[in-house]
Amino acid sequence: MKIVIALCLVGVVLARPQYNGEEKSAETLEMTNELREDQSYDFSFSTSNNINREESGISYPGAEPEEGNYVQSGSYEFTHPDGTVSFITFVSDENGFQPEGDNLPKFSGRVDIQDA
């Protein structure tokens, strides 16, 4: 379950746009993080280079220790070098990572790996 959270965070980091040297001096303006006893959580942050991120999640334990799952939902927003803004919302659950946004292609079906 922790791997899913880590992979989501890595995906966000890798998906962020690469800018000029000014990005290296970006600062975190606000950050919140709450982990509750039931292992549910909320976190958010915003940076000086207009990156905003929010996420909530909850653990659903299974009958066996490794059978449970985590359900996460959230959003992130960033500004491209040309000034356009991308806003992505997502749900990550037993069906995988499911992002949605105006700048993402729409998927309306299932792809058989053999067809790909």
Give a yes or no: residue 100 inside a domain: yes
The residue segments making up the domain with residue 100 are: 2-16+26-104
Instruction: Give residue 115's pLDDT band: very low, low, confident or very high (50, 70, 90).
Output: low
Residue 94 lies in a domain: yes
**What does the pLDDT average to over 10-29?**
66
Comparison of pLDDT for 69 and 90, the residue scoring more: 90
Note whether 77 and 100 are within 8 A (CB).
Answer: no
Residue 9 lies in a domain: yes
Residue 109, domain member (yes or no): no
Is 90 within a domain? yes
Q: Show the beta-strand stretches assigned E in 1-116.
A: 28-35, 41-47, 52-60, 69-79, 85-93, 96-100
Domain assignment of residue 21, yes or no: no
Residue 116 lies in a domain: no
In this structure, is residue 59 part of a structural domain?
Answer: yes
Distance separating the N- and C-terminal Cα atoms of the chain: 29
Task: Tell me how many domains the chain contains.
Answer: 1
